[in-house]
Amino acid sequence: MNYFSAFEISASGMAFERLRLDVTAMNLANANSVRDAQGNLYQPVRVVGKAGRSFGNYLQQAVVPHIVAAAQAPRLVHEPNHPLADAQGFIAMPNVNPVDEMLNLVTAVRGYEANVRAMNAARTMALRALEIGAR
Amino acid sequence: MDSGAEAVTSQLVRLALDAASMRHRLIAGNIANAHSEGFRPRRLDFERQLAGAREVLLDRTQVASSSRALSAVRPTLAYDNVGPVGERQGVRVDEQMALLAMNTLHYQALTTALNKKIAILAAAISGGGR
Amino acid sequence: MSIEVIAATGAVAGKALSAAGALPSRPAPEASFETWLVQQFSATNAKLVEADQGVRRLALGEADNLHQVMIALEEAKLQFELVVQVRNRLVEAYQDILRMRI
């Protein structure tokens, strides 16, 4: 562990929040997509963060992201005129919850900001340390 | 404290400063190429190279071998590996900015430390009379 | 830098002091100033070495934190300046004794 560890912890937090934002954007972009040619429907994904293995080793990430696809029942939309609609006029769409996604969006942005602040604070502290004994 | 060990320290600091300025250019290049097609971010493999000579460098009695180890070190380029799952390859500007901040800080820390060492040497030369 | 030169000066000054202390009219000082001075020299040397090792660790990229490196450097500098000033005063005192008319 060296004095860069604070930076690296914040950097891994920033990467994690960015990944959450990417995943949220992907969920939103696929909210209205339908089954592909193989019949697979898009599954909404979530990023789950696990705390890094050890705090001391700065080469390891402080947050380890895991992308999990929640196997959820599709959302059935009644759209009889749709070319892919079934006999009852329903079409399966990914179960993306717009409210959850917007919440994720906001918390990811705020989390990212917090990590940037933490990094700037570490930088300010280190610069203050360099002023020890300065005239 | 003998002058040999002192010389090793300043040689080491000089090398670390060289590496930091080289790293700055690399990061600037990475940021400049953020939108270049097929560009792989580059980084400097300096600390890992020094890690081999770490034991020798922290032993103050091994002046000659420290000096030899230091003159063998040349900071070399390395390419970033593929990122973690779900991340696209390429330059991530925020990561590069974080690296830039760290590198700038390291450079400042090294120059400050060097200044303090020079101040001690100056005090020794002037014999306390300024 | 070499502290042996200063140490040598201190030894000379210490001898001058003990010579002054050996005058028949004055009792010998019980706590030797020379011992204190030699202790200070070795303490200064240790501080300088410690600060130098800190700088090496910093350059190797394994300094735990910056403030400890900076504090070690600053302590070494102050300790060194203290010893240099003591040495200067000693040399002055020695020269004063040398110029004394008997």
Predicted local confidence at residue B87, as pLDDT: 47
**Burial letters A65-87, b for 16+ CB under 10 A, else e:** bebeeeeeebbeeeeeeeeebee
C35 touches chain B (CB under 8 A): no
Q: Is the pLDDT of residue C2 over 70?
A: no
Mean pLDDT of C85-97: 93
Predicted local confidence at residue A34, as pLDDT: 85
Q: Is the pLDDT of residue A29 over 70?
A: yes
Predicted local confidence at residue A68, as pLDDT: 86
Please tell me the least confidently modeled range out of A6-10, B116-120, C46-50, C54-58. A6-10
- Identify the residue with better confidence: A43 or C72: C72
Please, which residues bridge with residue A50 across strands? A64
Token look-up 């390891």 returns A60
Mean pLDDT of B35-39: 82
pLDDT tens digits along B90-107: 788 888 999 999 999 999
Predicted local confidence at residue B86, as pLDDT: 39
The C-alpha atoms of residue C79 and residue C49 are separated, in whole angstroms, by 12
> Which of A1, A129, A133 lies closest to C66 in CB terms?
A129
Please give the interface size between B and C, counted as residue pairs whose CB atoms are below 8 Å apart: 94
Predicted local confidence at residue B55, as pLDDT: 85
Specify whether the CB–CB gap between B120 and C48 falls below 8 A. Answer: yes
The C-alpha atoms of residue A113 and residue C97 are separated, in whole angstroms, by 70
The C-alpha atoms of residue C57 and residue A36 are separated, in whole angstroms, by 57
- Mean residue pLDDT across chain A: 85
Mean pLDDT of C79-85: 93
CA nearest B8: which of B69, B67, B74?
B67
Task: Tell me the pairing of strands A63-69 and A45-51.
Answer: antiparallel
Predicted local confidence at residue A4, as pLDDT: 84
A123 touches chain B (CB under 8 A): yes
Q: Which residues in chain C have Cβ-Cβ distances shorter than 8 Å to A132? A: 67, 70-71, 74
The C-alpha of A40 sits at a distance from chain B's nearest C-alpha, in angstroms, of: 19
Predicted local confidence at residue C93, as pLDDT: 94
Q: How confident is the model at residue C96 (pLDDT cuts 50, 70, 90)?
A: very high
Specify whether the CB–CB gap between B40 and B79 falls below 8 A. Answer: yes
Give the 3-state secondary structure of residue C101: coil
Helices and strands (H, E) in chain B, number of each type = 5, 2
Tokens standing for residue A112: 């990212």
Q: Is the dihedral of CA C93, C98, C99, C102 positive or negative?
A: positive
The C-alpha atoms of residue C16 and residue C19 are separated, in whole angstroms, by 5
- Identify the residue with better confidence: A131 or A82: A131
The C-alpha atoms of residue A43 and residue A28 are separated, in whole angstroms, by 11
Helix-helix angle C66-99:C33-60, to 10 degrees = 150
Length of chain C counted residue by residue: 102
The full 3-state SS of C16-41, as one line of letters, equals HHHHHHCCCCCCCCCCCHHHHHHHHH
pLDDT tens digits along C6-25: 555 555 555 555 554 445 55
The C-alpha atoms of residue C90 and residue C16 are separated, in whole angstroms, by 10
Q: Which residues in chain B have Cβ-Cβ distances shorter than 8 Å to C2? A: 1-3
Token look-up 């760290």 returns B102
Q: Which residues in chain B have Cβ-Cβ distances shorter than 8 Å to A15? A: 84, 87, 92, 95
B116 touches chain A (CB under 8 A): yes
Q: Is the pLDDT of residue C33 over 90?
A: no
Helix-helix angle B93-126:C66-99, to 10 degrees = 10
- Identify the residue with better confidence: A35 or A27: A27
